[in-house]
Structure 1
Amino acid sequence: MFVYEIAALAAAALWAITGLVATTPSQHLGAIAFNRYRMLMVFAVLAIYVTAVPGWGSIGGDHLLPLILSGFIGIFLGDTALFLALNRLGPRRTAMLFSLNAPISALLGWILLGETLSGQALAGVLIAFAGVILAIGFGKRRSQLHQWEAIKGPLWIGLVLGLAAALSQSVGSLIARPIMEAGVDPVAASALRIGVAAFGLTLIAALPSPLVKAQNPMTPGVALGVAVTGIMGMGIGMTLILFALSGGEVGIISTLSATTPAIQLPLLWARTRECPALGAWIGAALVVIGCALIFGV
C-alpha cells in the first residue's frame, strides 16, 4: 500500500540531495561536460543491469519511438538546461524553477490533450507560480553570503533555462506516461531514455566549440560527485518516478515529486549553516500547496 507514493517521495528526496552534490562538479566541469559524464556512467550501470535481468524484452517495437523522443526532450534537453541553470542560479532557485514541471504538465494536458482544468486546478497553477516568484525574489537575506546564493550572469537567462528544464521534463513525462502504464520495465525504460541523452551529449562534445568541452580536468573528487549524482538522481530517482507512474495516480505522483524544493531547504541550512529566508520557506510551501490543488490531492 502506498508503494507508488513512497517511490515518488523518495525520488524527490534524492533529487534534493543530488541538487546540492551536483553544484560543485557541474561548475567545475561545465554543465554540458558534467551532464555527458553523468549520463554515460548511469547508462553503463543500467544497461548492464537490464541485460543481466533481462529487461529489454519488455520494450516493444511500438514503445521505442516514444521512449527515444521522451529521452531526447525530457533528459537530453531538460537535464542540460537544468545544469546550465544550476551553474547560474544555484541549487535553491533551480529546484524551485524545476518544480514547475507539475503545473506545466497540468497546463499542457489541458491545452494539448483536452483534459479538464477546473477552477481549483487553475488556482493551484497560479499559487505554484506565485510560490516560485516569491522564493526567487525574496528567498535570500542580505546576510546570506554562501556562494550558492550568488547569481552568475543575467538573471533572466537563468530563469529561461530553469523554465526550459521544467517544460522539457513535463513533455518527456507526458510522452512516457502511456508507455509506463502499458507495463514496460521502468529500469529498461530509464536505460533507453538515458542512453539517448548520452548519445546526444557525446555528439555535441565532438563539436569544436570550447563551450561543450570540460572547463577543468576531471579529478577523483569530481568524478565521485558525478557518479553519486548520476546514480542517485538519474539512475535511481528517475527510475522510481517511472515506476510510480506505472501504477500510481498521476496527480499524486506529480505533487509528491514537486516537494523537492521543500525537502532541499533544511539540507541547504545544514550544508551552508545559513537559514534560508522566510520567503524561501513560504515559496516552497506554496509550490506544494499549488500542486496539491492542481491534482485534487
Structure 2
Amino acid sequence: MTDFKGELAALCAAFLWAVSSLVYGRLGQRISPLELNLLKGTVAIALLIFTLLLSRDFLPAITPTALSLLLLSGVVGIGLGDTAFFTALNCLGARRALLMETLAPPITAILALIFLQEELSILAWCGILLTVLGVAWVVTEKVPSSSGPTHLLRGIGFGMLAAIALASGAVLSRAVFATTNISSLWAALLRLSGGVLILLPWLWLRQKQSRSQLETLPSIPVIGSIFFAAFAGTYLGIWLQQTAIKFTAAGIALTLTNTSPLFVLPLAVCLGERVSLRASLGVVIALSGIAVLFYLR
C-alpha cells in the first residue's frame, strides 16, 4: 500500500523553507546575514541536541576523516552557503533567491560527475539546461520595485555562490553517508556545528575591521521570529527532508523539496507582492529541469 509519506514530507519541507525564507528576508532588514546565520544555527543546534537526548541517540563510532568531512560540509554548505543565501535574500527577495537555489541540484550532479565519476545521460544535461534557463528568465526580469542593477548583480552573484556552496556541502555529506552508519540527526548536528564554528571568527574579524559592536540586543519580536524560522526552516526542514529520503527515492525527494518557489508565489501575493506571468513561467521551467534531471536521467 502506497501512503506517499515521503512525498508529503518533502512537500512539507519545501513549504516550511518557503515560509522561513520570507521571515529571514524581513529579518535581513535588521540583522546582517552573518549574524542571522549564526543565530539561526545556534537555535537549531540546541533543538537538535535536545532531540538527541530525548531519543537517546548516541554518536556511533566514526573515523576522523568522516568527522572532518561532515564538519567541512557544514563550513561550506551552512557557514558560507547560508550566509550567501541570506545576502541574496536581501538583494533579490525570497522569490528570486529561492529560485537561484534551484541551481544547487544540477550543480550537485556536475560535482558528482567530476569527483565521484557519476555519469549523466543526455536527458540529465537537458535538465541542467532547463533549470539554468528558468533561473535566468526570472532573475533578469525588470521589477519596478527592485533596488536597481547593482543590487540585482550582487544578488545573482551571492545566489550563485550559495548554490555552489550548498551543492559542495551536499556532495561532502553524501560521501560520509556512503561509508558510515551515522544517523541523519547526528550528521545534521555536526554539519551545523561546523557551520556555526566558522562563523564565530568570521564575525569577530568583521567587527574588528569595522570597529563596531552590536549596539543593542535584538527585540523580543525579532528573537521570536528568528526562533520560528530556525525551528521551521532548519530543524523541522532537516527532519522532514531525511524522512522524505527514507520513504521515497532520493531523486523524487530532492525534486519535491526544491518546489519552495511554487509556495513562495502565493505567499508573496498574500504579502502584497505582484507576481508576473514571466516569474511564474520561470519557476515552471526551472522545476521542469529539475524533474528531468532526477526522474529521467
- Shared fold, TM over 0.5: yes
Q: Could you list the per-position Cα deviations for residues 65-99 of structure 1 after superposition, in whole angstroms to 9, with x for gaps in the alignment?
A: 22112111111111111111111221111111111
Partner of 2:185: 187
Instruction: Find 1:21's aligned residue among 8, 23, 36.
Output: 23
Deviations 1:105-135 (A, max 9, x none): 1222222222222111111111111111111
Equivalent residue number for residue 233 of structure 1:
233
Give the whole-Å Cα distance in 1 for the aligned partners of 2:291 and 2:142: 22
Corresponding position of 1:201: 199
1:23, 1:90 within 8 Å by CA — same for their partners in 2? Answer: yes
Q: Deviations over 1:123-167 (max 9, x none)?
A: 111111111111112274x4xx4xxx4458442222111111111
Partners of 2:175 and 2:20 in 1: how far apart? 28
> Structure 1 pair 191/278, CA: closer, same or farther in 2 (3 Å)?
same
Residue 123 of structure 2, aligned match among 113, 120, 124: 120
Pick aligned residue for 2:153 from 147, 153, 156: 156
Check whether the contact 2:131–2:290 (CA below 8 A) recurs between aligned residues.
Answer: yes
Cα distance in 1 between the residues matched to 2:142 and 2:289: 18
In structure 2, runs of 5+ residues without a counterpart are none
| Alignment RMSD (CA, Å) | 2.3
Would you say the 8 A contact 2:139–2:156 is kept in 1?
no
2:70 aligned with 1:67: yes
Structure 1 match to 2:49: 47
Equivalent positions of 1:88-107 (< 5 A) are: 88-107=91-110
Match of 1:281 in 2: 280
- In the TM superposition, residue 270 of structure 1 has moved relative to its aligned partner by 0.8
For 1:22-67, what per-residue CA distance to the aligned partner results, in whole angstroms no more than 9, with x for missing partners? 1121220111111111111111121122133222324623542221
The number of residue pairs the alignment matches comes to 290
Alpha-carbon distance between aligned partners in 2 of 1:40 and 1:101, rounded to the nearest angstrom: 24
Q: CA deviation at 1:170?
A: 1.0
**Are 1:168 and 2:165 an aligned pair?**
yes
Distance in 1 separating the partners of 2:85 and 2:286:
18
SS for the counterpart of 1:64 is: helix
* Structure 1 counterpart SS, 2:119: coil
CA distance in 1, matches of 2:248, 2:175: 13
Q: Which runs of 5+ in 1 are unaligned?
A: none
Following the alignment from structure 1 to structure 2, what is the Cα–Cα distance between the partners of residues 271 and 58?
Answer: 46
Task: Give the equivalent residue in structure 2 for 1:4.
Answer: 6
Cα 1:152–1:203 shift into 2, 3 Å: farther
Partner in structure 1 of residue 259 of structure 2: 259
Contact 1:97 1:159 in 2 (8 A): yes
Q: Secondary structure at the match of 1:11?
A: helix
Question: Residues 232 and 102 from structure 1, CA distance in 2 versus in 1: closer, same or farther, beyond 3 angstroms?
Answer: same
Seq. identity, %:
29
* Alignment partners' CA distance in 2, 1:278 and 1:156: 22
Distance 1:290 1:175 in 2: 24
Whole-angstrom distance in 2 between the partners of 1:220 and 1:161: 30
Distance 2:246 2:84 in 1: 26
- Residues 1:59 and 1:42: Cα distance change in structure 2 (over 3 Å): farther
Deviations 1:212-252 (A, max 9, x none): 96586411111111111111111111232244345643321
The Cα shift of 1:258 comes to 1.6
Provide the rounded CA distance (Å) in 2 between the counterparts of 1:35 and 1:172: 16
The one-letter amino acid of 1:12's match is A
SS of equivalent to 2:59:
helix
Equivalent-residue separation in structure 2 for 1:216 and 1:27 (angstroms): 15
Q: Is the 8 A contact 2:5 2:247 kept in 1?
A: no
